[in-house]
Amino acid sequence: MSFEALNDAGRSLTNLIVILNDNEFSISKNVGGLSRYLSQIRTEPAYFKVKEVLKRAFVRIPGIGTDIAGGLDRIKGSVKYLIMQRTLFEDLGFKYFGPIDGHDLRELIRIFSKAKFIKGPLLIHVHTQKGKGYKPAEDNPKAFHCVSSFEIKTGKIHSYMGENYSDVFGKEMLRLAEEKDELIAITAAMRDGTGLVEFSKKYPKRFFDVGIAEDHAVTFAAGMTKGGLIPVFAVYSSFLQRAYDQIIHHISVKDIVKDCGLTRQAFYYHFKDKYDLMNWIYYTETARFMSSYNNVEHWLDGMVDLCNYMRQNRTFYINALNTTGQNSFQEYLHNYIQNISISAIENIQNTEYDENKWGFTIKFISTAFVGMIVRWAYNGMKEDPAEYVAKMRSIFDGSVLGELENPKMRCLQGIRVFIFETIKALFTLAVKNIWEIRLENLQ
């Protein structure tokens, strides 16, 4: 994405200052062509040394020396390209300054002050040292990249007994690698953090660090799978967000069209994307069970059939219920139950649905029903669908139909039970989400 932004800025000639903080540090060893390129720029002092030598020499010439030295700055581009090649950033359309000592405050202020008045995109290459000024961090930057509590004076990091998840994962990878020669480990610049240090040492030809490129790592792993290997991409869940486009489009859609005997053109002719396909599945599969029961007396029978079908396709529907947003199965169920409830009101009262009178009740009922279905699914779908739906039927009949037929009673008991079950379902979901967040933080 950074390259895309640089490419666009260089094309548009926007007045933009980009500061490249080059501290030569990564948690794992730097890899890739760009790392080598920056190192080459960093260690190529020829131009800068020649420039300073020429300046000092011209200044000593009586009378005109100072003017010549000043002119050297104005022709520095020509002098520069006689000594060293253009930089990648200049080829992208940026004016390039650097590398500059990032710990020389006076020089930084001078460069930044000048940079404000330069037209077009400008890149300032700043060379810094990780942990500068704190010797323990300078000596061991890896340990202080994401540090727990430590002694400030000595830099001694407090250690805790026991293995963490990364250690356990690393040992298990070593065990599996002994059993399966085709097992491959992939990381995105997180060899240490994911527990793969020993694996990389023992199986260097089966270990791949692709740098900070999670999207590439996912597709890289997919290609290995096609070749008969067993790749394991070790990645933090927060960093995997960068790779969802590859997971959804470049891998999943390919698998779909291959297994179904379609071309990509045929897939995209019928569906906008994978999520559009998911919507189609929700509507066609659910409608198949509900269409025969589209009335007040029998629609819950359709819910029984649907729950049985969800049981048979457990993995798909658990994932579907975990998905939120515009393509949510929960949202589809919510809308379906809401429409059925509205239909019940109109049939019994023989009048059009009044949103002001019934809106809150209908939304409450549909949300509660979906919550109970989700709770049933998350509990392993253990309860018999017929018995589970029968409980919901009794509440629905008591709280909605009873209220319609006897407005004075309002079916207080049914509503109390309904509220209790709803709160219990929502509480269960909340606890589940809290534990998922805690587990992610532990990892």
Q: Which of 160-164, 326-330, 375-379 has the lowest mean pLDDT?
A: 326-330
Q: Which of 54-58, 232-236, 353-357 has the lowest mean pLDDT?
A: 54-58
Q: What is the CATH number of the domain that holds 250?
A: 3.40.50.970
Q: Does the pLDDT at position 83 exceed 60?
A: no
**Range with top average pLDDT, 63-72, 82-91, 114-123, 309-318:** 114-123
8-state DSSP, 29: P
Query: Is the C-alpha dihedral spanning 24, 27, 28, 33 positive or negative?
Result: negative
Residues 248 and 311 in one domain: no
Angle at 236 between CA 235 and CA 239, to 5 degrees: 95
Q: How much is the average pLDDT of 52-68?
A: 55
Q: Does the pLDDT at position 55 exceed 90?
A: no
pLDDT at 413: 47
Residue 30: both structure tokens together:
């730097």
Q: Of 260, 292, 322, which marks where a domain is finished?
A: 260
Residues 227 and 170 in one domain: yes
Q: Does the pLDDT at position 170 exceed 80?
A: yes
User: Looking at the domain assignment, is residue 139 inside a domain?
Assistant: yes
| Bridge partner list, 186 | 208, 233
3-state secondary structure of 296: coil
User: Looking at the domain assignment, is residue 45 inside a domain?
Assistant: yes
User: Looking at the domain assignment, is residue 231 inside a domain?
Assistant: yes
Q: Which tops the pLDDT comparison, 184 or 1? A: 184
Structure confidence at residue 207 as a pLDDT band (50, 70, 90): very high
Q: What is the CATH number of the domain that holds 353?
A: 1.10.357
Q: Which tops the pLDDT comparison, 77 or 106? A: 106
User: Looking at the domain assignment, is residue 267 inside a domain?
Assistant: no
pLDDT at 408: 44
pLDDT at 136: 80
CA 275 to chain centre: 17
Catalytic (active-site) positions: 130, 214, 242
User: 16-22 and 121-127 as β-strands: parallel, antiparallel, unpaired?
Assistant: parallel
Residues 352 and 413 in one domain: yes
Residues 206 and 124 in one domain: no
Residues 31 and 120 in one domain: yes
Q: Does the pLDDT at position 410 exceed 50?
A: no
Residues 93 and 134 in one domain: no
Q: Which of 202-206, 331-335, 366-370, 433-437 has the lowest mean pLDDT?
A: 433-437
pLDDT at 372: 83
Residues 151 and 293 in one domain: no
Q: Which tops the pLDDT comparison, 112 or 336? A: 112
pLDDT at 221: 87
User: Looking at the domain assignment, is residue 156 inside a domain?
Assistant: yes
Residues 355 and 436 in one domain: yes
Share of the chain above pLDDT 70, in %: 54
User: Looking at the domain assignment, is residue 319 inside a domain?
Assistant: yes
Residues 192 and 302 in one domain: no
User: Looking at the domain assignment, is residue 403 inside a domain?
Assistant: yes
Instruction: Give helix 314-322 / helix 355-378 axis angle, nearest 10°.
Output: 130
pLDDT at 252: 66
Residues 20 and 108 in one domain: yes
Q: Give the structural domain span for 193.
A: 165-260
Residues 41 and 188 in one domain: no
pLDDT at 172: 92
Residues 123 and 139 in one domain: no
User: Looking at the domain assignment, is residue 205 inside a domain?
Assistant: yes
8-state DSSP, 15: -
Total domain count for the chain? 4
Instruction: State the chain's mean pLDDT as an integer.
Output: 71
Nearest of 62, 52, 38 to residue 127 by alpha carbon: 38
Q: Are 417 and 397 in contact (CB under 8 A)?
A: no
Q: Does the pLDDT at position 432 exceed 70?
A: no
Residue whose structure tokens are 């491959």: 184
pLDDT at 429: 56
Q: Of 225, 260, 295, which marks where a domain is finished?
A: 260
Q: Of 106, 128, 150, which marks where a domain is finished?
A: 128
- Spell 399-429 as b/e; 16+ CB within 10 A means b: bbbbbbeeeeeebeebbebbeebbeebeeee
Cα 198 from Cα 385, distance rounded (Å) = 49
Residue 171: both structure tokens together:
């040992």
Residue 41: both structure tokens together:
């720029």
Share of the chain above pLDDT 90, in %: 7
pLDDT at 56: 60
The sheet carrying 16-22 orders its strands as 16-22, 121-127, 95-101
